Amino acid sequence: MKCQVCFRQCDIDEGKVGFCGARTCLDGNIVADNYGRLTSIALDPIEKKPLNRFYPGSYILSVGSYGCSLRCPFCQNYEISWSDMSFKFKERADYYSPQEIADIAKRYESQGNIGVAFTYNEPLVGYEFVRDTAKLVKANGMKNVLVTSGNASLSVLSEIAPYIDAMNIDLKGFSDSYYNDIIKGKRKAVMDFIVEAYKSSHIEITTLIIPDLNDSDKEMLELSSWIASIDRKIPLHISRFFPTFNMTDRNATSVELIYHLADVAREKLDYVYTGNC
């Protein structure tokens, strides 16, 4: 059967999993094999998502599962995101029902929690759990946040959009070669996702700057100009890279370069933030 979650359109045989490591074919239907299987749960500051202009100063219950539709060689959560490594979490991940997560979120409301963030791995490879949980969180009068690469179909977005209040979406670079060759994704799919997400949610965008790959003034100007064509008030987070996982062949991005690229982006955008500096 063909999975429709992202541009890969994986053909998945009965009992096997797709590229993401999280979706399988069961009785002739494509389902989320990671439904409710959480590898991470924590109460985080909202700014850690990062969201700087959505209930600043608050906290949010952050949950993550396993699996991802990209292969970023610099991934900091590779143990739960890369499918050849995340398989080990299939049996070790703890199961939580949507109702349990909604109840936990409500329990921490008195400690400044505003709701639930779906994060850490790529949450949309298990969008059914996001949808089902977000409905209950919303019914409790709380907020839902999605932290995503945006590498998902618009049909998936339509399933969750009515329940999501804010998103941080990675726009990892602004060239097709970077998306195709480095992170094994599709830039147009992410751009389409951002345009559509903006219609229903507060959105902020994050770009991690990798030395010699996506760090030119030209690319930053093109990226920020495109965001501004949607709305110049969309916040952009420009973050510093540190060597990790399969990308240790270069130094960390210089702080000076991050500040400089932020100034470039401010020519087009009202809200530009620097991260990891």
Model confidence pLDDT, tens digit, residues 153-209: 999 999 999 999 999 999 999 999 999 999 999 999 999 999 999 999 999 999 999
Give yes or no for residue 32 having a pLDDT over 90: yes
CATH match of 36-275 with 3.20.20.70: yes
pLDDT, tens digit, 9 for 90 and up, residues 35-55: 999 999 999 999 999 999 999
What does pLDDT average to over the chain? 96
Q: Which residues contact 239 (CB under 8 A, 6 or more apart)?
A: 206, 207, 208, 209, 258, 274, 275, 276
Q: What is the mean pLDDT of residues 132-157?
A: 98
What's the whole-model pTM score?
0.97
Q: Which residues contact 205 (CB under 8 A, 6 or more apart)?
A: 168, 169, 170, 171, 194, 227, 234, 235, 236, 237
Banded pLDDT at 89 (limits 50, 70, 90):
low
User: How much is the pLDDT for 174?
Assistant: 98
Least Cα distance to 119 among 130, 106, 109, 108 occurs for: 130
User: How much is the pLDDT for 92?
Assistant: 78
Which of residues 86 and 64 earns the better pLDDT score? 64
User: How much is the pLDDT for 82?
Assistant: 81
User: How much is the pLDDT for 94?
Assistant: 93
Least Cα distance to 258 among 214, 203, 205, 222 occurs for: 214
Share of the chain above pLDDT 70, in %: 97
User: How much is the pLDDT for 87?
Assistant: 59
Q: How far apart are CA 189 and CA 170, in angstroms?
A: 12
Give yes or no for residue 60 having a pLDDT over 70: yes
Domain positions in the chain: 36-275
